[in-house]
Amino acid sequence: MKYSICSTVYNAEKRIKESLDSILQFINPDEFEIVVVDSKSTDATPKILRDYAAKFPNFKIIEEKCTRGRGRQLAFENSQGKYIIPVDLDTIYTEKWWELIKAYEN
């Protein structure tokens, strides 16, 4: 596994699809995993995450009520990638973000 994209989320249904899609457009499915800690969201976030996990076998969901910092730590601890990339799932990522990842890798 080359990349572990790690995040924590709580009640992010309004932007999570757009955010995940913005990340997925840059990633080769054979080189990545996404690890998301859902802090027991009460909106549609868990269903959205399950939908993505059904499409991508390397999409891990951990459900645990926790702080954002603890959630990130859990995601990091449950990742297997050579490179850990923390993200926020209410952010839309652009090509500049991916260029920065590649520059760091090199």
Distance CA 29, CA 45 (A): 22
Say which amino acid occupies 12: A
User: 45: which DSSP letter?
Assistant: H
Give the Å distances, CA to CA, from 50 to 9, 16, 53, 83, 106: 13, 12, 5, 24, 33
Alpha-carbon span 7 to 34, nearest angstrom: 8
pLDDT tens digit at each of 106 positions of the chain = 889 999 999 999 999 999 999 999 998 878 899 999 999 999 999 999 999 999 999 999 999 999 999 999 999 999 999 999 999 999 999 999 999 988 988 8
CB atoms within 10 A of CB 20: 24
